Amino acid sequence: MRKKVTVVGAGNVGASCALRIANKELADVVLVDIMEGVPQGKALDLLESGPIEGYDVSVTGANDYTTTENSDVVVITAGFPRKPGMTRDDLLMANFEIVKAATEGVVKYSPNAIIVVVTNPLDAMCYTAHVVSKFPKNRVIGMAGVLDTARYRTFIAEELNVSMENVTAMVLGGHGDTMVPLVRLTSVSGIPITELIPQDRIDAIVKRTREGGAEIVKYLKTGSAFYAPSAATVEMVESILKDKKKVLPCAALLEGEYGINGLFVGVPCKLGASGIEKIYELQLSEAETAELNRSAAAVQELVDVLKSKGA
């Protein structure tokens, strides 16, 4: 029997996730959205691509959660996108209600699923999904670090005119302006980038990485990124479904790791069939620790707002 993945939200990110999952033949896909006809139409369009692309998975669309029953993985992309000048934090309460409702639907029909949260503000939405679902912490994971690291690697490869595949990097922290690209551990085929790129250019690349989402929003004006976010999400989904045990930067609930308690923060995680199978605790420098704590404090502010509203 094939695996089953539900993608909640049939917008650009959700539809792109469904397409990539189908193309890789990872699982049957159910696309869920409150907009009548939209998930059904996009699912049928994707299904009809199968004979051309050569995939045989089922893709269906729905406006409720009954057809999502017994999903192995549920990807939550539903929510309002950012607009120019809008921060991820502006989205907090509006998207809280959406993620809460989505999580309730997921839990009712797929109590054993692993939830991958993509909706912004990411770290606070992971907290929401965890509290609402009451799932163990290994089964609620946030997609942020894979995307942020991909952007960071892209900019380094462009700077040096080398293959992106040769750039090894890791971005920790919250998904926002306080994320922490670990320059010290960034290399090109094992060569530290500090030996290849002047410090002022490294600083510019770090800044561009932190503002990566906003840069795309500025260009698009009426939407936000979706190709790279969907690619990052599906890398995580694939590692879970195939039990690949990839070590990827993901938003995970920390309970003492890195001195942080009760918050979802981006850290290196081993992803396998049971979700997060291990959190790796790196030995950070004082400066890196200070940056990570600053990032965690920004996440805490959002969580505190949710708690103050009774969330």
Q: Which of 226, 201, 177, 224 is nearest to 75 (CA)?
A: 226
Measured distance CA(261)–CA(303) in Å, rounded: 12
Strand partners, 187: 168, 192
Choosing from 175, 210, 275, 300, which is the catalytic residue?
A: 175
- Across 128-159, b (16+ Cβ under 10 Å) vs e yields bbbbbbebebbbbbbbbbbbbbbbbbbbbbeb
Measured distance CA(233)–CA(115) in Å, rounded: 11
Strand partners, 167: 188
Measured distance CA(242)–CA(265) in Å, rounded: 25
Measured distance CA(158)–CA(69) in Å, rounded: 44
Tokens 């809280």 sit on residue: 96
| Residues 4 and 28: beta-carbon distance below 8 Å | yes
Tokens 């995680």 sit on residue: 269
| Residues 159 and 107: beta-carbon distance below 8 Å | no
Measured distance CA(174)–CA(260) in Å, rounded: 12
Measured distance CA(188)–CA(279) in Å, rounded: 24
Is 175 among the residues known to form the active site? yes
Measured distance CA(142)–CA(78) in Å, rounded: 14
Residues classed as catalytic? 175
